[in-house]
Structure 1
Amino acid sequence: MEQITMMPRIGDNAPDFEAITTIGKLTFSEYNKGNWVVLFSHPADFTPVCTTEMSGFAKEMKFFGDHNTKLIGLSIDSIHSHIAWVNAVYEKTGVLFEFPIIADIDMRVAKLYGMLQPGESETAAVRAVFIIDPKGKIRLIMYYPMNVGRNMEEIKRTLVALQTSDENKCAMPLDWKPGDKVIVGAPKTLEALAERKKSNLEMVDWYLAKKSLA
């Protein structure tokens, strides 16, 4: 009987692994240490939607670097296929995928992270995105089907939202973006409620109050 592996969840420690990548062999926990990481999978090399997505990540390398974030991709292809694809895209478009891409030919990492979903495919990873914090904890998970490309602006927005929330101990409202007001945690005592009513917070109701970080 096949052993069922529990898919990682938000709040779990990111499963560690060693893998061959386009920048050499790496251990994920070492790559993650002290940095945020966006780990993302794509179905296959030399495919059109995947090429647009990987190019999108490559073009945003400076943004992610400025936000203390490393990128790492994955597909169930060989290292030779990855190298050939990276080279082909660079020759045709001038865009170089400088971040590591995991060669997961045995599907070990894809299975570890729940990137293989049989309803879509048993041999190709769906378009998964994991945002992992510097302590190695999974903070956000997105799954996209194989025929729909991801939204890069949403990936960037949620990364900044997580980092801002951690730094300021607050929550983010619908459609939050940098510069918008944030949500302050609801009071848990009557005394805290009285203090809130005297504050200069933007009060929608006693439990919903906003403030500017500027």
Structure 2
Amino acid sequence: MNEAVVTFPQLNQAAPAFNAKTTHGIKTLEDYKGKWLVLFSHPADFTPVCTTEFIGFATRAEQFAALNCELLGLSIDSVHSHIAWARSIEQNFGVKITFPIIADLSMAVAKAYGMIQPGASDTAAVRATFIIDPNGILRAMVYYPMSNGRSIDEFLRVLRALQTSDEHKVATPENWQPGDDVIVPPPATSADADIRKDQGYNYVDWYYSTKTL
């Protein structure tokens, strides 16, 4: 018996294109050109863990928008289910879902992004999150099990870190936050390593130096 083949998108490659029905009408990847996009899937509407995540994304939507980033949800539910669930969240929790949600009944988008994983479910998307840059390039992706909710603040942190790395050509250390020192790219030659100590950085060793932006 042949096992199901699961495909996964690749970092620093073009994100899979899509043309999908959503709660805000048809959306395509091209619609988000020039902006960052956080595309995230959830297993099902009207479930408690997913509800907490949607509340988390919705209450931070303005923070994402301030970073030129749009939000786009997805599950293998109908548009009517999405609308009813969003209305339920607003009625029960006082939080309005302002971003679109893809109704991926055909599982076309979910399969393209590796959201369907047979080890978890053949008919529901796992908790997958993708950060796509303004050029449509996939820059980060994280998969969570169905039983555990995501940290929305971590996606804000990663987005800020990616934007900082792009702007300043630097790397960021563990749990980097805006205002923290950044990591200078290590020297590429022995000659550059010899002079790294005298280049004005916060020097620890030839391969590890930081600076303040």
Shorter-chain TM-score: what band? over 0.9
TM-score (norm 1): 0.95
- 1:186 corresponds to which residue? 186
Q: Could you say if the C-alpha distance between residues 2 and 24 of structure 1 is closer, same or farther in structure 2, counting changes exceeding 3 Å?
A: farther
Work out the CA distance in 2 between the residues paired with 1:27 and 1:201.
44
User: Which segments of 5 or more consecutive residues in structure 1 lack a partner in the other structure?
Assistant: none
Please report how far the alpha carbon of residue 154 of structure 1 lies from its aligned counterpart in structure 2 after TM superposition: 1.1
Work out the CA distance in 1 between the residues paired with 2:121 and 2:185.
42
- 1:60 corresponds to which residue? 60
Please report how far the alpha carbon of residue 96 of structure 1 lies from its aligned counterpart in structure 2 after TM superposition: 0.9
Q: Secondary structure at the match of 1:130?
A: strand
Please report how far the alpha carbon of residue 140 of structure 1 lies from its aligned counterpart in structure 2 after TM superposition: 0.3
Q: Could you say if the C-alpha distance between residues 145 and 5 of structure 1 is closer, same or farther in structure 2, counting changes exceeding 3 Å?
A: closer
- 1:104 corresponds to which residue? 104
Task: Judge conservation of contact 2:36–2:69 (CA < 8 Å) in 1.
Answer: yes
Give the aligned residue type for 2:171.
Answer: A
Please report how far the alpha carbon of residue 5 of structure 1 lies from its aligned counterpart in structure 2 after TM superposition: 5.7
What is the number of residues matched between the two proteins? Answer: 212
- 1:151 corresponds to which residue? 151
- 2:7 corresponds to which residue? 6
Which one is further off, 20-29 or 64-73?
20-29
Q: Deviations over 1:31-57 (max 9, x none)?
A: x20000000000000000000000100
TM-score (norm 2): 0.95
- 2:23 corresponds to which residue? 22
Please report how far the alpha carbon of residue 136 of structure 1 lies from its aligned counterpart in structure 2 after TM superposition: 0.4
- 2:206 corresponds to which residue? 206
| 1:168-187 alignment, distance < 5 Å | 168-187=168-187
- 1:70 corresponds to which residue? 70
Q: For the aligned residues, what is the CA RMSD?
A: 1.4
Work out the CA distance in 2 between the residues paired with 1:98 and 1:200.
47
Q: Deviations over 1:145-189 (max 9, x none)?
A: 000000112111111100000000000111211111111011123
Q: Secondary structure at the match of 1:52?
A: helix
